[in-house]
Amino acid sequence: MGHKPRIVLADDHPALLAEISRRLAVDFDVLRAVGEGIALVEAASELRPDVVISDINMPRMTGIEACRRILQQGFSGNAILLSVYDEPELVRTSLEAGIRGFVLKIDAAEELIAAVQIVLIGHTYLSRRVLQRMDPVSVR
């Protein structure tokens, strides 16, 4: 049996972080769950997970900036953002930074496992609510 995909997770809300970590641990190996952006960069650098999942709004460094730094360090894994916001410009900025997934927190329980599976095979995942707000040209 192969190894479970390895994940590092970041969110500044401890209860949500624990819940997401618990749900992901069924299908994936959650290596570390942290509460802020700089800790996420450090954990990803140290542990080299297959996927990094981050809230956008976090102390000390935003999720977008943390993922951008992780990707600039030659990270060969994938990055997914969690957000309460579905503004198309925020999604575009995330995609331009190299982030491969964008999941709304309201949909995380239903979509996050699928998002991880999709980015692991090299595709981009956007929550269905995000896709409904996007201009089709902007997501190509």
Where do the structural domains in the chain lie, given as residue ranges? 6-139
Confidence of residue 74 (pLDDT cuts 50, 70, 90): confident
6-139 is classed CATH 3.40.50.2300: yes
Q: At what angle do helices 14-24 and 108-120 cross, to 10 degrees?
A: 50
What is the value of pTM for the model shown? 0.91
pLDDT of residue 75: 84
Cβ neighbours for 127, distance < 8 A, ≥ 6 positions apart: 86, 102, 103, 104, 107, 111, 115
pLDDT tens sequence across 98-129: 999 999 999 998 899 999 999 999 999 999 88
Looking from the CA of 128 toward its CB, the CA atoms found within 13 Å total: 6
Residue 38 has pLDDT above 60, yes or no: yes
pLDDT value of position 102: 96
